Amino acid sequence: MRLLVIEDDEATVHTLSEALRRAGHEADWARSAYEVELSLRGDKYDVVLLALEFAGIDVLALLKRYRRDGGHVRVIAMTGRVMSGEPLAAIDAGADDYLIKPFDVADLHARLRLQSMRVTSRRPLRVETSLTLDAESGLVHVNDEKIRLTPAEFRILALLVSAPQRAFTRAELAEQVRGFRQVESLKSVDVHVHSLRRKLGTDDVVTVRGVGYRLRR
C-alpha cells in the first residue's frame, strides 16, 4: 500500500516510517501546511494517516473540506487527546478510523489491513468455505445466503477478518464500533458478538478466555 503520513512530530514519523517500511508499505511524509494541501490533491494514496494535532492547521476543518471536495482516500486519524472527544469528532468529519496515541505497531497493522480490504479488494474475501465477507459492498454471505448485519456487527467482523490469527480484546472491538455510536460498556461488545454469531449461524467467531474474541482458524 502507498500511504501519506500527515504528522509534524519528527520522532513519531520516524517510528511510523520504520514500521511501515518493514511491513512492505510505501510512505510519504507531509510536514507543513503547504505539503499537506499539495499531497492531498488527486488519488495518489491508498490510506492517509492523519495527526489531529498539527501546528498551524485546523485538521478537522481540513478533513471536512477534503471530503466535501470529493476526496475519498481512506483516512485513519491519530490523536492523543482521547478524553476531548476528538476521535469521534474525526469520524464525524470524515475519518474512516482512528488510533489513540501511543499505539502498538500491531494495532496500526490491523487497522491498515482492514482499510486495505476496502481499498484493494474487488472480490469478496472468503474466510472459510461457508463465510464470505465483501468489504467493498458491505455484504456478508454464509453458504451463498446474504446476511444482513448492523454497521457495528460488520465492523467487528471485518476487524476479526483483518487479522484472523489474532485475538482482539473487548476494548479494541469497542473502539471499532464507536465509529457509528458510543459504546457505553464492554458488555455491549458481547451483545454485538452474540447477535453476530446468531445471524451467521456458524462458530466462526470464538471466545478466547481472558482476552476477547478471534476468528476460528
User: What are 6-62's pLDDT values in tens digits?
Assistant: 999 999 899 999 999 998 999 999 988 889 988 988 778 999 999 999 988 999 999
Say whether both 109 and 35 belong to one domain: yes
pLDDT (0 to 100) of residue 121 = 47
pLDDT in tens, 85-133: 788 788 888 888 888 888 888 888 888 877 776 654 444 455 544 677 7
Q: Residues 161, 117: contact at Cβ < 8 Å?
A: yes
Say whether both 56 and 137 belong to one domain: no
Burial of 64 (0-12, 13-18, 19+ CB in 10 A): middle
pLDDT (0 to 100) of residue 185 = 58
Burial of 189 (0-12, 13-18, 19+ CB in 10 A): buried
The residue among 217 and 43 whose pLDDT is bigger is: 43
Which CATH number characterizes residue 46's domain? Answer: 3.40.50.2300
Q: Does the predicted model carry a pTM greater than 0.75?
A: no
Is the pLDDT at 211 greater than 50? The verdict is yes
pLDDT (0 to 100) of residue 82 = 64
Say whether both 45 and 85 belong to one domain: yes
Q: How confident is the model at residue 67 (pLDDT cuts 50, 70, 90)?
A: confident
DSSP letters, 79-127, are ES-GGGTHHHHHHHHT-SEEEESS--HHHHHHHHHHHHHHHH--S-EES
Among residues 94, 116, 138, which one ends one of the domains?
116
3-state secondary structure 180-203: CCCCCCCHHHHHHHHHHHHHHCCC
pLDDT in tens, 124-178: 455 544 677 776 666 788 877 888 887 778 888 888 887 777 899 888 888 766 6
Say whether both 77 and 46 belong to one domain: yes
Tally of domains within the chain: 2
pLDDT (0 to 100) of residue 138 = 66
